[in-house]
Amino acid sequence: MSRPRDTTPVALERRTSETTVQVTVAIGSGVADVSTTVPFLDHMMTALARYSGFDLHIRASGDLRHHIIEDVALTLGAAIARAIPETAARYGERTVPMDEALMQAVIDVGGRPFYEGPLPSNLYDHWMRSFCDAGKFTLHLRTLRGGDRHHIVEGAFKALGFALRQAAVDSGAVFSTKGAVVLEGR
CATH assignment at residue 38: 3.30.230.40
Evaluate if pTM is beyond 0.75. yes
Q: Let me know if residue 114 belongs to a domain.
A: yes
pLDDT of residue 177: 61
Specify the higher pLDDT residue, 48 or 4: 48
pLDDT at 17 over 90: yes
Tell me what percent of the residues of the chain surpass a pLDDT of 70.
91
Q: Let me know if residue 93 belongs to a domain.
A: yes
Q: Are 138 and 110 in contact (CB under 8 A)?
A: yes
How far apart CA 51 and CA 30 sit, in angstroms, is: 7
pLDDT of residue 2: 45
Q: Let me know if residue 184 belongs to a domain.
A: no
